[in-house]
Amino acid sequence: MDFSSIEQSEMSQQFGTPMSPQVSTEPLEIEQHLLTNRAKEVLQQARSIDRTIPIHDGSWGVDTVKFSYPVDVSDCDSSSSLWSTTSTQFLSDMQFENTRSTGTTVFNGPGGQVSVRVDLYSVRSICHVELNAARCFSSDKEYLASPEQVQDVIAAVISGLSHAVTPAFSHVTSDGEIVWDDDWMDQVRFRRIDLARNFQVDQPEVLIDTLPAVRGRYQRRSVVHSSQGGGWMIESPTSSSGRDKLYNKSAEMAQRPEDVERVRAMEKTLVRFETQLMRARLKDMGITTLAALTAFNAWKALLKRWDASGWGGPLPEVGSVMEAIAHLTPKQQMHLLGYLTSRSMGATIPLSPAQIRLQERRAKDCGLTPGLPVDDLGTPTTYLDIEGGRVAPLDGHMPDSGQTA
């Protein structure tokens, strides 16, 4: 995406008054004079460290983002029409009041109108912004933005808000030129990033029948939600650092009248893995700033959370459980089937911890998931391939799976 020069009045067309009905179909642009040559070099250098990853075609990437950046409060416009409410909060730990101005505006991108929430904290001299970055580039609900696109849209949003919120990294030169600091991307910090990967699936019922019994690494619990039209979601939430979820995206889209025909035209069911990164996760993944949001870092974070979920483990051919355990002795088969039946019924298992570990290990070696109905168990034949975005045959490849609940 090039950095075409446009006037301030043209930039204002990208932002309407709250809930403006006007829609611009022009590509997102960043004002040339807002970026010094060095700042543009920093942006390009950040992108150049990307390594070999799947080509971005909208099937993986970024959805919603929340970010913050420092502001020059003395130059912000507290009377701007952007602000719909202003509140005062007493901060006991800091012994003073903090004023928050909140507003919602509309960003007009190639995908249409996107709502942008803005919160300005005057005492802390910081601005928080939230928006769905993917919708800025496509109205298709399955589309996900590339990290490069997110960098562009955040720069454009900060620029478009400058009439009311002045970034602390924005300065006016002696020639009257507005420039940003070289390290402005390091000053834009993420509070939340939603990364996602789409899968094309022939039989989504196999996933909802199998994966709820899988407990991912570090996961204390998983929650299964269901909705009308065959919708389902398997969710692994945490208290503060984010959540992982796998859900039937096609069923979700089918609930919206404007997407019904698009869903009907799909040859396969669209299933989405989505991981929400906040606080500790952002730090662990090394994506705390806009400068760090590269394609490589985003893909690495997706892979790490996918591996932790355990949902990439082998999927069974339903009803072939006897084939899966055929290599065991008759006595081993009897013990394992008894254990699997007890687990599926939630019954008390009169075995020692060592015996339970033996049966768990034997089940894993056979590619079986304890906790599922025995009729739903079988020989592992496929797995969800996150790199290809599809259900792929094992063909000797045995992906890691999580523990069983």
Q: What gap in Å lies between CA 174 and CA 86, rounded to an integer?
A: 35
Q: What gap in Å lies between CA 311 and CA 214, rounded to an integer?
A: 7
Q: Specify whether the CB–CB gap between 391 and 382 falls below 8 A.
A: yes
Q: What is the CA radius of gyration of the chain?
A: 25
Which helix or strand (DSSP H or E) is residue 276 part of?
Answer: strand 269-278
| pLDDT tens, residue order, the chain (405 aa) | 332 332 333 334 444 433 332 333 333 333 433 444 555 555 555 555 444 688 899 999 999 999 999 999 999 999 999 999 988 876 665 556 678 999 999 998 888 899 999 999 998 999 999 999 999 999 999 999 999 999 999 999 999 999 999 999 999 999 989 999 999 999 999 999 999 999 999 989 888 877 887 777 666 667 888 887 779 999 987 767 889 999 999 999 999 899 999 999 999 999 999 999 999 999 999 999 999 999 999 999 999 999 999 898 877 666 678 878 888 998 898 899 899 888 888 888 889 999 999 999 998 888 787 877 777 677 777 889 999 999 998 775 655 655 544
Distances in Å between the alpha carbon of 22 and those of 8, 82, 153, 223, 405?
Answer: 18, 16, 19, 41, 51
End-to-end CA separation in angstroms for the chain: 46
pTM above 0.95? no
Backbone region of residue 95 per phi and psi (left: phi > 0; alpha: psi in -120 to 50; beta: other values): left
Q: Specify whether the CB–CB gap between 244 and 309 falls below 8 A.
A: yes
Q: How many CB atoms lie within 10 A of CB 124?
A: 17
Q: Specify whether the CB–CB gap between 222 and 253 falls below 8 A.
A: no
Q: Specify whether the CB–CB gap between 217 and 193 falls below 8 A.
A: no
